[in-house]
Structure 1
Amino acid sequence: MKYQILLAAALLLSACNRDKTTEAGTEGLNAAASADADATASPVVDNPNVVSENETPNPNAPVMKFTEAEFDFGDIQPNSKVRHTFTFVNAGKSPLLIEDATASCGCTTPSWTKEPVAPGAQGKMEVQFDSRGKQGIISKQVAVRANTQPSITTILIKGNVLDAAAKTANPL
């Protein structure tokens, strides 16, 4: 008789635990459903890269024009750092100011002209790539955020990091 009571209590407790899991899961689904309902109620999304139909583009905005949007390093030695300087011109009618530049990987580091670039003047964006721990074909993007329309311009570096083991096996 005691074993039957213990068995019944164990079943009851395990059933209670399942109910709580279901409730938590249902609550999560309900929260997601209400978030979806809220999103459909107010479909306005703040995306600085998209000009809405109501906004007209600013004809006096700065315009960032890179002389090259991508650079190929070719073969890159293992455990080395390579750099390339991208140049751009402000083809707009007001000063261009770079707010930030972020790379798609921690192995890539951008640095840029910090002062405003006057209309018709040149600016620079230096990108450094560290091949330590990398091997094979690489392709890294740098997103440059500035006071332009659209606000983000993307540049690209690529190359082929040589195999460190092949270098040590064939020293020249």
Structure 2
Amino acid sequence: MKSIKLLSLAIFCNIAFSCTKKVEGSPIADNIDSTQATAVTNALAQEEQPEDELLKEAKEKPLTTVAFSETDHNFGEIKKGEKVEHVFEVTNTGKNPLIISNVKPGCGCTVPDYTKEPILPGKKGKITLHFDSTNFDGAVNKIADVYVNVEKAPVRLTFSANILP
């Protein structure tokens, strides 16, 4: 039964995301690594919570203000198949606790990690985006929307890379 569920998740990921690994001559379930499995799990969880609900949840908290160390990162040239990550630093510049409700990547090839606890005024948190370049060639641009309790949510983070063979 577990294999059927994993196979179903893999098929869903293949259909829903162009970033998943293509399979030739072997069972899909045998070709899913932990990053892809996490991406599938995150995608399913995010599909259950529509974007307008995420935005409503973020706005229900007392609003504050936020500053990012950067909102765009360029990995430069990386080799196809390389897995890279980047940490975006978040600072609460307001008077209420900053709450990151969710980080929703635009693609299953990107897996987010982020500070789950409220970030007190003046304190810092982080959002890490993990990117798997396995299924890409050439220039790529990716996004992740950050749902936080600020006036102009979601905040969009972006990254780019040039994938070499």
TM over 0.5: same fold? Answer: yes
Are residues 1:141 and 2:143 paired? yes
Identity %: 35
CA distance in 2, matches of 1:79, 1:128: 13
Tell me the SS of whatever aligns to 2:127: strand
- Tell me the CA shift for residue 47 of structure 1: 9.4
Equivalences for residues 47-66 of structure 1 within 5 A: 61-66=63-68
CA distance in 1, matches of 2:82, 2:54: 36
Q: Find runs of 4+ consecutive structure 1 residues off by over 6 angstroms.
A: 46-49
Counterpart in the other structure of 2:88: 86
Post-superposition CA distance 1:32-77 (Å, at most 9, x none): xxxxxxxxxxxxxx7997xxxxxxxxxx721121011100000011
Conservation of the 8 A alpha-carbon contact between 1:48 and 1:150: no
Q: Let me know the Cα RMSD of the aligned residues.
A: 2.3
- Tell me the CA shift for residue 126 of structure 1: 0.3
Count of residues in Structure 1 that have an aligned counterpart in Structure 2: 111
Counterpart in the other structure of 2:160: 158
CA distance in 2, matches of 1:147, 1:67: 18
Post-superposition CA distance 1:61-110 (Å, at most 9, x none): 21121011100000011111001101010011100111100111110111
Provide the TM-score with structure 2 as the length reference.
0.62
* Structure with bigger RCO (C-alpha 8 Å, 6+ apart): 2
Unaligned runs of 5+ in 2: 1-51, 56-61
**Aligned with residue 103 of structure 2, among 101, 104, 111:** 101
- Tell me the CA shift for residue 127 of structure 1: 0.5
Provide the TM-score with structure 1 as the length reference.
0.60
CA distance in 2, matches of 1:63, 1:101: 17
Post-superposition CA distance 1:1-30 (Å, at most 9, x none): xxxxxxxxxxxxxxxxxxxxxxxxxxxxxx
